[in-house]
Structure 1
């Protein structure tokens, strides 16, 4: 059965960098079984109602500014898969989850930066999914859980975001020069409760986890919550494994979790 994954997409520059993390993601795509399709929840795609794509071929969205020109030349024209979209709609309907179909939106950098490193040929069908930071973690988890059966069909489910992703707290001058302890402490708390599948604690991370307010600021929950969609998709197995963790800019976390 295909696992589900949470993958930190970091800063857009990852798309043109060669470092420890990009090398890990390139290798991860080679070691995973080739999926029939990828369902991806991106932190940069927010909607109050769960949206699912039905796109023949995706455009590439450059939802950032002020970066080197080569970033804006990257294309990731992944195909969609209408049959998988219909299965997702049916799964949501069976679980009482409202859903809207999106037929035009392309892939934002939270999606294509990750997908391009895993599958550089853009030949794996993609279904793009929105996130909603204004509902409880339990609801994100239940949405992922509703999709768990698709893993039996070799569909890979990915949540793309970041466990510590606070752009107001990053220290650009610290890149490669150490890691702030508060970020490590938060990530280690997450690791402890992920390993024991302690959803009660994880769903209440805002009050229980050390340094939660700075690691996951109120204006930036959209980057943390994709982990719950990915986790819920493996509710049938309830196994978590940290595959990679590194940091940039003092505290920006590059964590990759495998579930199932």
Structure 2
């Protein structure tokens, strides 16, 4: 069965860089069983109710500013899948998850940067999903949990965000790792591998340096982790596939669940 993934999408520059992390994601897309479709929860699509994309073909959204022109020329013309969108809506209805269908929104960089590195040909149908950082971790996990059946049908569920993502703390001219970021990720690794939901749900009070790693103004990047975990509730196994850092503390972590 294909695992669910949590993937750090880093800074938009990843889309045009060639480094250890981009090479890892290129290779991961080739190593994974080829999915029939991808369901992706992006930190950059925040909504008060769960959104499910029902778009035929996505526009590419450039939801950032001040970067090289090359970034704004990139297109990722992924197609949607109406049948899969309706299957997701049925699963949400069965599990009491309120949701709304969306027929207009394109793919933000939290989605297309990751997808382009994994599957550069844009030839796998995508269902884009919103996140709601105001929900409790338990509620976010439950949303992912309602999609467990999809994995049995070779659907890849991805949460795109970052375990350590504090733009007020990043040091763009500094690559020496901040110890506080590593300490947070090591705590997270310990409890993910034990599938210790009680501790993980209270990460904000239990994890060292949680207010730095996951600041209140930026927790939307952390919560896709719970959506991805929930989608693997049937096989509670967490594997760290990659971890590196940029700009002092911006984490490039990739977790496989299931």
Q: TM-score range with shorter-chain normalisation?
A: over 0.9
Q: Tell me whether 1:65 sits opposite 2:65 in the alignment.
A: yes
How many residues end up aligned between the 2 structures? 258
Paired position in structure 1 for 2:115 = 115
Q: After TM superposition, list the pairs within 5 Å mapping 1:171-250 onto structure 2.
A: 171-175=171-175, 178-250=176-248
Residues 42-191 of structure 1 mapped to structure 2, 5 A cutoff: 42-175=42-175, 178-191=176-189
Where does structure 2 lack aligned partners over 5 or more consecutive residues? none
CA RMSD of aligned residues (A): 0.4
Q: Distance in 1 between matches of 2:171 and 2:113?
A: 22
TM-score, length-scaled by structure 1? 0.99
Give 1:219 shift: 0.5
- Is residue 29 of structure 1 aligned with residue 29 of structure 2? yes
Using structure 2 for the length normalisation, give the TM-score: 1.00
- Stretches of structure 1 that go unaligned for 5 or more consecutive residues are none
- 2-side partners of 1:35 and 1:81: how far apart? 13
Offset at residue 204 of structure 1 (A): 0.3
| Structure 2 SS opposite 1:250 | coil
Secondary structure of 1:43's partner? strand
1:30-53 CA-to-partner distances (Å, cap 9, x unmatched) read 000110000000000000000000
In structure 1, what is the Cα distance between the partners aligned to 2:152 and 2:192? 23
SS in 2 for 1:172: coil
Q: Which runs of 4+ in 1 moved over 4 A?
A: none
Question: How far, CA to CA, are the matches of 1:172 and 1:63 in structure 2?
Answer: 19
2:257 corresponds in structure 1 to 259
Q: Compute the displacement of 1:172 (Å).
A: 1.1
SS in structure 1 at match of 2:248: coil
